[in-house]
Amino acid sequence: MANGVSFFTICYSNGKVASNMKIGRRKVIKGGACLAVSSLVGSPVMALERIEINEFSSTHDVLKTSLFDHFSQLGYTRADHMPLITNDYDINGGLRYHGVVSGYLPGDLVVQPISRLDDLADKDRPDNLPLFHVFLCRRLPGSTFETVFSQLLNYLTEGLNLEISRLLLVSIPGLENRRDFIEANGIDWSKQVFIRDHDDALEAGDGSGLFRFPESRDGDVYTTAGLYYFLGDEPEGAPLSYPPPSDWTEIGEIALDDVSEVAFTLGTERLILAESRKFPHWHHRLAELIEHIDEVADPGSLPPAREALDKF
């Protein structure tokens, strides 16, 4: 899905992990009252509050601390994210949005800034952003899907107080092998699980069932389950088709294969949206992204994404 939390949204490179890099805030965005938004495009029951960038940034910092603290207590280790601007200007305009799994150690945790140029055309979707972040949890040695699922579900319901009845799993028929375990954890299979056709999921490769790197259709395929959260009044049951209506927002993905190097990913902005119904303005985040590129990139060799962003 656009601006979702694709399983390998995190981009890695061989060699040393780059140092943490703060994203500059757009200084020209000052103050501004919160704008309540309801009856949004394509989602008549979704209501969210667009809040000023500095307020959301503070909320985001609190969430990141919560994530790192919770999973560090389970044996994971915080790591620095990689730069948003990559050395490959031929892919995604030089901005990081996915990649191969290398460069981090088992058990590493990271919050990675991400931007996908393809998402810009979908800017009217309420939960879409030109710049967002993904929390990656790389698998600890010996851990299983059951272990990771329990840890993740505990954080979502106990740490964030999300309602378990509003969660939805989207995957392929292979998930049925874990039906008993999933139901034992409080998920109503008949109302909270949507099984996609395997071939459709393989063709899409979008992470809600199967993930494949977009530019490598013949490369590795990873089996996953997309995790969605209902933002409407009351969920009446699982959607009847894929993708789900836009009152379902994708908050993350979890690996089904115990040998997968990544345990799960979570969209941090989407978590805040699910927990509080608060979300940044799309154009405020665009301004952040532009400012960050201007601050960090070589003025004589700006990534192609910089010119593309000016069109919005």
Q: Average of pLDDT values for 246-269?
A: 94
Q: Which residues pair with 224 in a beta bridge?
A: 255
Could you please report the per-residue DSSP string of 286-307?
HHHHHHHHHHHS-TTS--THHH
The H or E element spanning position 249 is strand 248-255
CA–CA separation, 34 vs 36, rounded Å?
6
pTM of the shown model: 0.86
pLDDT-based confidence at residue 267 (cuts at 50, 70, 90): very high
- Give the mean pLDDT of 249-275: 95
Name the residue among 167, 174, 102, 170 with its Cα closest to residue 138: 102
Query: Percent of the chain beyond pLDDT 90?
Result: 74
Whether the predicted pLDDT of 138 surpasses 70: yes
pLDDT at 112 exceeding the cut of 70? yes
**Closest to 204 measured CA to CA, from 170, 246, 230:** 170
What pLDDT, on a 0 to 100 scale, did the predictor assign at position 214?
62
Residue 44 has pLDDT above 60, yes or no: no
Q: In whole angstroms, how far apart are CA 105 and each of 26, 148, 229? A: 33, 17, 30
Helix boundaries (H) for the chain: 53-72, 145-154, 179-184, 189-192, 198-204, 268-276, 282-296, 305-309
Residue 95 in this model has a pLDDT that exceeds 60: yes
As a whole number, the mean pLDDT across the chain is 85
Q: Do the Cβ atoms of 52 and 31 come closer than 8 Å?
A: yes
Q: What is the pLDDT of residues 31-42, one digit of tens each?
A: 232 333 333 333
pLDDT of 126 > 50? The answer is: yes
pLDDT at 221: 87
Task: Look at residue 1 in the predicted model and tell me its pLDDT.
Answer: 60
What pLDDT score was predicted for residue 6?
57
Max Cα separation, the chain?
A: 58
pLDDT at 17 over 90: no
Give the model confidence (pLDDT) of 208-243 as tens digits.
Answer: 999 886 655 666 788 999 999 999 998 889 999 999
Tens of pLDDT along 152-175? 999 999 999 999 999 999 999 999
Output the CA torsion sign for 111, 297, 85, 291: positive
Asked if residue 68 has pLDDT above 60, the reply is yes
In this predicted structure, what is the pLDDT of residue 246?
87
